[in-house]
Each structure stands twice: as structure tokens, then as C-alpha cells.
A and B are shown apart, each in its own frame.
Chain A
């Protein structure tokens, strides 16, 4: 077991109900959070202490489920059970709601911005994924993707190209890309035996880690056309295979997973109230590309008093991790190996 330390930096306690999601801005100096208390809060450091800098209570009349920053850091999107997504602009110093995206039939579960900043993806209990094109503060629906057969839980974009992944109550992960002016699903990843709650790409975007209600994490590898392994690939597409399953670590559903783009560590959190950190074994005896081995290098039991819903690595300081819980708190952690 590698020696590691987990220190609580601060607990942020002003939400009045379960906190569903946290999201760092690209600079890593602001954290957005959202809750069943229907508010969106922005947290920043002042005098070495994290404080709530803004709180928005009037935009959504139901749970706010997901928040996401644009890659430029100027915009924040928030998805709500009220079937809408709000877009916030902070260029004038204050956050101002500049648009409301409507179209989903019911609860919006997740929202995410593409790396180019040109697209926004949303997904809903209505089983669809919507791609929105953004141009000069106008948001237009570019595609409605109905490949999933159940409630879609999360959408996440590839870190470098305009590919988006979604995961669902139908136990699968779908991957979409633009093809001749339309968006198409080019691969569907089956293997989990229950709801897939969360997905995260590694830094180069050739791997995905997924977390599920089946209490496992899975690592998926992309195989490009003419790959060395001879894996058959559809024309001009990548094909994804599960190359590792991490089972037996979490005792209850795993609600969130995040792949650290600076040090390659994977963090996961669960309804078992724990946070776990995994690291790939770099020993030469393993086929590191096709059959990698991941070891548990950090384990924090009772990180929160109740289910942990989301966690995110700070994009600039790889030792900082934020988590949020049904216990209404957000916690900032310092993790080091």
C-alpha cells in the first residue's frame, strides 16, 4: 500500500438540502455547487479561507442537478429538474443569467461544455441527449439524440475533440460525434449490469472510466482504425473496449468518478460514504495498454456523513479534491501520495 494522506482543508456548509454536483472553473479558483435547495452557489478563497461569494435562488423552481463551466471560464451552465438549463455570464463582474434553454420534456440531469466552447450537451429523464450550438450568446439545438432507452444520467465531452459521451439508467454508455452536419452515435459501450452514473475521460481522451450502481468502475480503451491489436473498427471511427473492471472496493452505488489530468489518478465516491483513489500499476509485467492493473492507493471511509454525490479534482492543483453529499456539505480535501 502506497503511503498517502487525506486532509480536510475545509467544509462548506451553507446549502440547505443535499448537494448534487460541484464543478471547478478552469483556473481552479472558483467552485460552483448546486443542490435540492434549488440554489446555485459560487465559492472562492478570501484570506486563505473558502467563502460563498454568490448564491442564486430565483432561477430554478426545482432541484438544480448539475453545473458546468465553459472552457473560457466566463460562462456557467446549470441543469434543473424543472426541465430547463440556465446560462450565466460573469464577464461584467457579477453573474447574470443570459439564457434559458428549454426543450427537454422533463428533468434535465446533466450539462457539459465541449472543449472548443462551441457546443453544450444536455441530457434528461426523457431519454434524450441534446447538442446545443453556441454562437455569440445564441443557443441553438443542433441535434436531438435518442439512442438511449432509459433516463440519461450524465454527459461528458472528450478533452480535445468534439466527441461527447453519455451514460444511462439503461446500463450503457454512448459516444457521439459530428458526421456530415449531423450528430451520430458511433459506439455503444455495454458491460455494466446496472445504471451508469458517471463517466470521465483521461487527459489524452483515449480512455474513459465509468462508475455504476453495480458497485464497479470500468476502464474503457479506444482503438483507432488500423490498431496494432487488430480490433475491428467501423470506418473512420474509434471502437471502445472494456479493459479493466474495479470490483469489490465500493459497497454501494458509485455516483461519481473523476480522472485527474495532471497525475492520472482516478477518484471515485459512493453511497457508502467513502472516497477512493486508484492508480495504474506501472510494473513492466503487465500489458499496460490492453490489460492494465489499477491499485487502490487512497481510501477515506466516512468522508461524509451520508451518500457522496459528486467529486472533482482541481484542474490546476492536482492535490485538491472537492466532494459534496446528501449531508448538505461540500468538502475540500488535500490528497497526496
Chain B
């Protein structure tokens, strides 16, 4: 199985403050100018994803941050690094999968999306990254109704 459901991994996570709303510039309001996707826009898509075990968002747990998103709209390339709350978190794959599914549903299909663990923040970083990068295993996982329900719960308010 791609995830293991067990007891709480991190019973008392640290909670961080939310960033404010994006300030929309006049240039962005101009319909005639092509508006590239930027890191803030991607962050606004994924910041409200629910943590699988706490009634908190990935932003509140500092799992996702704007500074850990790299995007180049002209090259169709997007890298999202996420930071598990603890280095042994068994929910890391599920969290990464939720981010991947949300971006898959939200972004134009031209984007090549890589979702990875922030370097050095998880004991199984390489294994989790490999799993998340394997689109065949991701496709198979998303055909699992139980798992899809869990992911949809994480994405509920997004």
C-alpha cells in the first residue's frame, strides 16, 4: 500500500501564521497582458490543503512555503518542495500525492510538475521522491477508491 494509516505521527505540531492575501497589481488586472503563473499563485493553490491528521492546513504547519516553489511558465516547469513536520512522518507520501493531485487538477496539462521533499527534512526522502515521481504508480494509486477518498478529504476546502 502506498500509505500506512496509523496513530498520530506528530501529536503537537507547531502552528505558523498565515501569509496575507495576494496584492493584485494593475498590470495583473490588465486583460491584454499575458499573466504568467508565479510562485505565489501556486502557493495560493496548495496552501489550503488539509493535513491528513490535524485540522490544520499545510501552510499553518509550514509544510508548504512560497519560497520552496520554483516555477518557469515559459518552460512549463514547476518544482514544489514540501517539508514534513517531522523527519519520520509516514504521511509524507500522502501529503506529496495530495499536492500533486491538486496541481494536476488545477494547472494546464502543459506543465511538468515535480513534487519533492525539501532536501534533508525526511529520513526516506529519496524513496518518497521516487514514488511521487513515478507517474505509473501515481496513476495506479489514484484508481484506488479508498486512497482517492482520503486525498479528496485533504483537498476539500481548496
A62 touches B133 (CB 8 A): no
A194 within 8 A of B: yes
Q: In the complex, which of the residues B110, B130, B140 has the most CB atoms of chain A within 10 Å of its own CB atom? A: B140
B interface: dominant SS: helix
Would A63 and B112 be within 8 Å (CB), given that A169-B134, A195-B130, A195-B134 are in contact? no
B136 within 8 A of A: yes
**Minimum C-beta distance from B49 to chain A (A):** 24
* Contact bitstring A16-36, B, C-beta under 8 A = 1, else 0: 001000000000000000001
**Minimum C-beta distance from B145 to chain A (A):** 11
A62 touches B143 (CB 8 A): yes
B139 within 8 A of A: yes
A81 within 8 A of B: yes
B134 touches A327 (CB 8 A): no
A319 within 8 A of B: no
CB nearest to A150 among chain B residues: B130
* A305 interface neighbour in B109, B130, B139, Cβ under 8 Å: B109
B140 touches A107 (CB 8 A): yes
* Contact bitstring B122-134, A, C-beta under 8 A = 1, else 0: 0000000010011
A194 touches B137 (CB 8 A): no
A327 touches B136 (CB 8 A): no
Give the chain A neighbours of B140 by CB distance below 8 A.
Answer: 63, 81, 106-107, 125
B135 within 8 A of A: yes
* B130 interface neighbour in A109, A125, A194, A327, Cβ under 8 Å: A194
Q: How many residues of B contact A (CB 8 A)?
A: 12
**Minimum C-beta distance from A280 to chain B (A):** 30
**Minimum C-beta distance from A238 to chain B (A):** 30
B143 touches A125 (CB 8 A): no
A271 touches B112 (CB 8 A): yes
Chain B, range 100-158, C-beta contacts under 8 Å to A: 109-110, 112, 130, 133-137, 139-140, 143
Give the chain A neighbours of B109 by CB distance below 8 A.
Answer: 305-306, 326-327
**Minimum C-beta distance from A110 to chain B (A):** 11
Contact surface of A with B, Cβ cutoff 8 Å: 18, 36, 62-63, 65, 81, 106-107, 109, 125, 151, 153, 169, 194-195, 213, 252-253, 271-272, 305-307, 326-327
A125 touches B112 (CB 8 A): no
Give the chain B neighbours of A253 by CB distance below 8 A.
Answer: 133
A305 touches B134 (CB 8 A): no
Contact surface of B with A, Cβ cutoff 8 Å: 109-110, 112, 130, 133-137, 139-140, 143
A151 touches B137 (CB 8 A): yes
How many Å lie between the Cα of A89 and that of B21 in the bound state? 61
A125 touches B135 (CB 8 A): no
How many Å lie between the Cα of A125 and that of B141 in the bound state? 12
**Minimum C-beta distance from B105 to chain A (A):** 15
How many Å lie between the Cα of A18 and that of B136 in the bound state? 11
Give the chain B neighbours of A65 by CB distance below 8 A.
Answer: 136
Give the chain B neighbours of A125 by CB distance below 8 A.
Answer: 137, 140
Given A36-B139, A81-B140, A327-B109, 10 more contacts at CB 8 Å? A18-B139, A63-B140, A81-B139, A81-B143, A107-B140, A109-B136, A151-B137, A153-B136, A195-B134, A306-B109
Would A63 and B133 be within 8 Å (CB), given that A252-B112, A305-B109, A305-B110 are in contact? no
CB nearest to B133 among chain A residues: A213
CB nearest to A194 among chain B residues: B130
How many Å lie between the Cα of A169 and that of B133 in the bound state? 12
**Minimum C-beta distance from B109 to chain A (A):** 6
**Minimum C-beta distance from A268 to chain B (A):** 17
Give the chain B neighbours of A252 by CB distance below 8 A.
Answer: 112
**Minimum C-beta distance from A85 to chain B (A):** 16
A–B complex contacts, Cβ < 8 Å, 13 sampled: A62-B143, A63-B139, A63-B140, A106-B140, A194-B130, A195-B130, A195-B134, A213-B134, A305-B109, A306-B109, A307-B135, A326-B109, A327-B109
How many Å lie between the Cα of A305 and that of B108 in the bound state? 11
**Minimum C-beta distance from A61 to chain B (A):** 9
How many Å lie between the Cα of A169 and that of B129 in the bound state? 13
B143 touches A63 (CB 8 A): yes
Give the chain B neighbours of A305 by CB distance below 8 A.
Answer: 109-110
Give the chain A neighbours of B137 by CB distance below 8 A.
Answer: 125, 151
